[in-house]
């Protein structure tokens, strides 16, 4: 079995997880925020007797700040030797801090009343993202990355949480899913995905991989608020995947009923999804970043109330062929 070590670094309300794959060409999966390489990855590797300078691959599961924010800094710490890998659909987030701001303004800003949002998002991106850069390997899914010594990593496109999310499957059965398996979400208590159809299809794809071990990007939680371990054995991984599918099914059913009946509600703070929150029993604060409540329900709104939405419909379809 390939040696894989979780490297944990806190950030705000979150615990960020990066991972070290001990192979002849060592790799780190995800990089946290700007401070994570120096304050988390380097000292954690030192405890293992490893050096950050020896990292040859930086494998990004997707383009959100808490996963790629430290990429430039970590690349610099390797003497600019490591190859940074990201999916084409999330490449813009590596290339430009402004892409993160635009993502907020084009989605969550439609629901959260904050006149200072653009300035705050710009400042946060400047602080949490260590630098703008191009990737050394832009992937689309299906690529095989050779880490030497008989260890290889397959890139599997699993869009939904973000459209450029990928899973990395080691040839010994371990799978890094980033944020593609959300269960009941993390700190905000609600699963977050931009495209509901793509998210569900990706969950089915990950289930079909039958991971021997599965590594999550955060301690995602059960309905009772208990965190799943970030490093899961095969039965625990399957339980998390199945629970994620069941939760999406429930959210989908409620969202479809409410949105098709036109139950938009201006009551803060859940507007226009107040009736959906009530039926789901969701009582969290939807305004706290990263606002998974609004991110997710915006996706269903594009499907079931497109006339109310300024953007086009999602790109995903449901794996089980449900009529959308």
Alpha carbons 266 and 243: distance in angstroms, whole number = 31
The pLDDT confidence band at residue 2, using thresholds 50, 70 and 90, is: confident
DSSP 238-257: HHHHHHHHHHHHHHHHHHHH
pLDDT at 312 over 60: no
- Report yes or no on whether pTM surpasses 0.75: yes
Q: Judge whether residue 32 has pLDDT over 60.
A: yes
Position 306 confidence tier, pLDDT thresholds 50, 70, 90: confident
Question: Element (H or E) spanning 127, and its range?
Answer: helix 117-128
Q: Mean pLDDT across the chain, nearest whole number?
A: 92
Residue 242 counted as domain residue: no
Q: What's the pLDDT tens digit per position in 234-250?
A: 999 999 999 999 999 99
Contact 87, 138 (CB under 8 A): yes
Chain segment 124-151, per-residue pLDDT in tens: 999 999 999 999 999 999 999 999 999 9
Burial of 309 (0-12, 13-18, 19+ CB in 10 A): middle
- Residue 309, pLDDT > 90, answer no
Which range of residues forms the domain containing residue 104?
3-177+211-232
pLDDT exceeds cutoff 50 at 195:
yes
74-108 per-position pLDDT tens digit: 999 999 999 999 999 999 999 999 999 999 999 99
Asked if residue 319 is part of any domain, the answer here is no
Residue 24: φ, ψ to 5°: -55, -35
**Residue 256 maps to a domain:** no
**Mean pLDDT value of segment 149-159:** 98
Cα-based distances in Å from 234 to 2, 47, 215, 225, 247: 15, 27, 11, 21, 20
Phi, psi for residue 21 in degrees, rounded to 5: -100, 115
CATH of the domain at 168: 3.60.15.10
Does residue 291 belong to any structural domain of this protein? no
Q: What is the mean pLDDT of residues 262-272?
A: 85
Rounded Cα–Cα distance for residues 87 and 317 (Å)? 20
* Within a domain: 88: yes
Number of domains in the chain: 1
Quote the pLDDT of residue 14. 67
Q: Is residue 324 part of a domain?
A: no
Rounded to an integer, the average pLDDT of 299-323 is 60
Of the candidates 132, 125, 202, the one whose C-alpha atom is nearest the C-alpha of residue 165 is: 202
Whether 59 maps to a domain, the answer reads yes
In a domain, 224, yes or no: yes
Which residues of 63-162 form beta strands (DSSP E)? 83-87, 137-139, 144-148, 151-157
């Amino acid at each position: 079995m390939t040696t894989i070590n979780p490297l944990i670094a806190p950030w705000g309300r979150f615990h960020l997880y990066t991972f070290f794959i001990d192979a002849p060409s060592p790799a780190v999966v995800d990089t946290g925020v700007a401070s994570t390489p120096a304050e988390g990855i380097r000292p954690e590797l030192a405890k293992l007797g490893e050096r950050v300078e020896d990292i040859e691959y930086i494998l990004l599961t997707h383009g959100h700040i808490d996963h790629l924010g430290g990429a430039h800094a970590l690349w610099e710490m390797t003497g600019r030797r490591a190859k940074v890998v990201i999916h084409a659909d999330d490449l813009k987030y590596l290339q430009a801090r402004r892409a993160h701001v635009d993502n907020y303004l084009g989605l969550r800003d439609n629901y959260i009343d904050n006149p200072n949002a653009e300035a705050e998002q710009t400042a946060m991106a400047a602080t949490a993202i260590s630098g703008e850069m191009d990737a050394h390997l832009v992937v689309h899914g299906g690529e095989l990355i050779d880490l030497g010594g008989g260890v290889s990593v397959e890139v599997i496109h699993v869009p939904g949480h973000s459209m450029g999310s990928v899973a990395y499957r080691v040839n010994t059965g371990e799978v890094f899913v980033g944020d593609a398996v959300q269960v009941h979400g993390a700190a905000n208590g609600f699963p977050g995905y931009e495209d509901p159809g793509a998210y569900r299809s990706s969950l089915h794809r990950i289930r079909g991989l039958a991971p021997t071990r599965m590594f999550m990007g955060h301690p995602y939680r059960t309905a009772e608020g208990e965190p799943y371990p970030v490093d899961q054995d095969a039965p625990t991984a399957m339980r998390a995947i199945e629970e994620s599918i069941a939760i999406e099914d429930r959210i989908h059913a409620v969202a479809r009923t409410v949105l098709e009946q036109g139950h938009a509600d201006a009551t803060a703070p859940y507007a226009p999804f107040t009736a959906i929150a009530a039926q789901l029993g969701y009582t969290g604060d939807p305004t706290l970043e990263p606002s998974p409540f609004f991110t997710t329900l915006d996706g269903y709104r594009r499907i079931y109330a497109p006339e109310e939405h300024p953007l086009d419909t999602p790109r995903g379809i449901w794996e089980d062929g449900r009529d959308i």
